[in-house]
Amino acid sequence: MRIYAGISLLGIFMLLTTNLAEARHIIGGNITYTCLGGGEYRFTLEMYRDCNCTNCALLDDNAAVAVYLCSSENNCNASNRFTTIHPNLETPSFVDPPSYPCLIPPDVCVQQGVYHFNLTLPLSVESYFVTFQRCCRNVTIDNIFNPEAQGATYFVEITPEAQQVCNNSPVFNTFPPTIICANQPLVYDHSATDADGDQLVYEFCAPYTGGGNNTSADLLNTCIGAQPDPACPPPYGNVQFIAPNYTPLFPLGGSPPVSIDASTGIITGTPTEVGQYVVGVCVSEYRNGVLLSRIYRDFQFNVASCDPQVVADIKEDEIINGREFVINSCGNATITIENQSYQLQFIDNFRWEFDFGGSPTILEGSGNSSPNWNPTVTFPGVGTYEGVLYLNPGFGDCSDTAYIHVNVFPDITADFSFEYDTCVAGPVVFTDLSMTGSCCMTDWTWSFGDGDASSGQNPSHIYENPGNIPVTLTVRDTNDCKEAITKTIPYFPVPNLIVIAPSEFVGCAPADIFFDNLSFPIDDTYDIFWDFDDGADGSTEISPWHTFNEVGVYSVAVDITSPIGCTTDTLFNDLITIVEDAVAGFDYTPDQPSSLLPTVDFIDESQRGAGVYWDFGDGGFSSQWNPTHTYQDTGIVQVMQIVTHINGCKDTLIKTIDIIPEVRYYLPNAFTPNFDSTNDEYFGVGILDGATNFEMTIWNRWGEQIFQTNDPKEGWNGTKNNVGKQLPNGVYLVHVTYKEPRGKIVELKGYATLIR
């Protein structure tokens, strides 16, 4: 058992579980060794973690390294463990990101931890396996399954042949770049140096798994735990790549695929997919054709979109393959080219070159303040010309090039004429007069100024509204050159036909009729006059309302004058027929219905009615001329009478009737409480339906209250408070109050004479 001075076992457990709760951090590592002689070796364990990882474990303060002595990698188990050591972590450092001139890579943080330790390994006919294991790999790795659940194993085998010659393992010269740029050629020297000068052979190989993501106390240091202690014996499994897109030999894909040169260790290719990829590199060491050792490293390539800082760009009409810019000019050989290149702070100089068929025309400058930044170039005439824009020419990644194709096409002219009857509405006929110096026209687009359009060459159009109407014609030719022209049409004719609604009307007086003027073209600028043939004033509105009050037949005349003096009129003979109407009228009795008098007699007083309908306002109805109706409840009701003329005209009258809730209550003046069952109690009589807050009190002549009740049905029996000794004969004061159903407070006073 390992002993930690000054820390309890519970504290150790809490520390480890805190550090391992999110143990997704490993992005690479390897083990190398140096033979010091006499069986003594010095080992170096290098571990790498993602230091931008959120809530992830730190590098271990002590690494649990196990040494196994086995006849082969596949013939090894826990009983073959030679020793276990726990070297300390040296001060961690950060791996500097690569420098990309004029490219901006994203922020990636990689931390390196180094552990040095010495071991004495007696000469043996078997191999020593020096191993460290840890979980887990970075959760964001894209080319293997479940990276957050897969640990890593880093080991080196010292073969009997290597022991015999006191061999030194190769040592990698540099750590791979923390960031490589997508769609940018990758060239990275992943070579190693061998102190003995042995032959080295490089290859991509599968990274090894180790441990698991269990952090519980009883499993933490086992082979399925996050921190195996001791590290477990070989053989070791391989991580599972997401085939067929990714394999151990092609861990990044790419076009061309990313690969490693077996002789030089140089990694080349062009990665195309943004992501994070684990890569394994194995280096085999040969001396005189004999394999002495094999060292292994895995690491994480972060493939990112690196924004170029210098980009050649111009305002174009078309772009080809993202690099070739097409400018089209129709009829104009002098062209100003708009330079949209960026980033300006990295552009030191530029050069334009244009080929006119002889010596190239060259325009140079430095910075966007140069007069040649947006050059104006006069080309020889109609034709196609080539040009190039160079930014920072000769500066590698800090330079960029735009290839330019300039097409100077023949001129194109848009034109048209129009014809129409200026006084009477009809179609406007448009005639295309456009011309082009190329083969021919291909497209005509007409915008008629009222929301309608046409693609015909010579269209006609009917306008519903007058006005000074802008009409635009846009034409296009075979070179895709286009031109537009707009002309204004003064369109103010009178309608070809006056149309109004209604087309006829038969109704009762008074008739309020809306005359909808459906004629076109008209608007507020036209003078319009309506004559309704009833002696009343006419109207100058486009679509007026008019009320006919008298029975009769009426013709309607409409006159229209346009703003330019054109006129038209129409007489609609006998358009309106107004017929006689009935007149509703009724009375009722009693004048004041109540809860005591709820039956109401209705008396018809209508005129010229052929039929009648009553709605009594409480759900009841009748078709009798003089009906009687009894109301079951009090309150305000709306009584409606509808009287129908024989010609179908109707008239309606509504009256409001209030059915009053009545309360009647009276006090007697004497009673005889002699137990003869006749007039033995004193109480009031009447109707109190709907009354509230009732109270009756009785007082003697000395002002003493001798009885009180809130129940109108409870009487006084002649004793004090209806219990005890009988009171003497005499006159007593009675006081009663209550609230009527509609809130009125009623107060009654009287005298009760007690007689026995």
Query: 332-386, pLDDT tens digit by residue?
Result: 999 999 999 988 888 889 999 999 877 788 999 988 889 999 999 999 999 999 9
Share of the chain above pLDDT 90, in %: 77
Q: 642 with 731, same domain?
A: no
pLDDT in tens, 476-511: 999 999 999 999 999 999 999 999 999 999 988 889
Q: What was the pLDDT predicted at 20? A: 42
Q: What was the pLDDT predicted at 474? A: 98
> Backbone phi, then psi, for 596, in 5-degree steps?
-90, -25
Whether residue 593 has a cis bond before it, omega within 30° of 0: no
Last residue of a domain, one of 409, 432, 465: 409
Whether residue 101 has a cis bond before it, omega within 30° of 0: no
pTM of the model: 0.47
Q: Which CATH number characterizes residue 452's domain?
A: 2.60.40.10
Last residue of a domain, one of 279, 304, 329: 304
Look up residue 563 and give its amino acid: P
pLDDT in tens, 195-206: 999 999 999 999
Q: Is the pLDDT of residue 215 over 80?
A: yes
Q: What was the pLDDT predicted at 11? A: 33
Q: What was the pLDDT predicted at 676? A: 86
Question: Which residues have C-beta within 8 Å of that of residue 358, sequence separation ≥ 6?
Answer: none
**CA-to-CA dists, residue 148 to 14, 140, 179, angstroms:** 22, 8, 21
Residue 208 lies in a domain: yes
Q: Is the pLDDT of residue 4 over 60?
A: no
Q: What was the pLDDT predicted at 392? A: 87
Q: Which of 18-22, 112-116, 652-656 has the lowest mean pLDDT?
A: 18-22
Q: Is the pLDDT of residue 127 over 60?
A: yes
Q: 324 with 296, same domain?
A: no
Residue 614 lies in a domain: yes
Q: 568 with 438, same domain?
A: no
As a whole number of Å, the end-to-end CA separation of the chain is 117
Q: 635 with 698, same domain?
A: no
The strand pairing partners of 527, in sequence order, are: 561
Q: What number is the average pLDDT over the span 654-669?
A: 93
Q: What number is the average pLDDT over the span 506-522?
A: 93
Last residue of a domain, one of 448, 468, 491: 491
pLDDT in tens, 265-322: 999 999 999 999 999 999 999 999 999 999 999 999 999 887 667 889 999 999 998 8
Q: What DSSP string describes 107-166?
A: P--EEEEEEEEEEE----SSEEEEEEEE--B-TTBSSBS-GGG--EEEEEEE-HHHHHTT
Q: 590 with 550, same domain?
A: no
Q: Is the pLDDT of residue 451 over 60?
A: yes
Tell the residue number behind the tokens 């992943």, with chain if given. 190
Q: What was the pLDDT predicted at 472? A: 98
Q: What was the pLDDT predicted at 34? A: 97
Q: 73 with 158, same domain?
A: yes
Task: Report the alpha-carbon angle 105-110-114, nearest 5.
Answer: 150
Q: Which residue has the higher pLDDT, 431 or 756?
A: 431
Count of domains for the chain: 6
Domain of 437 in residue numbering reads as 412-491
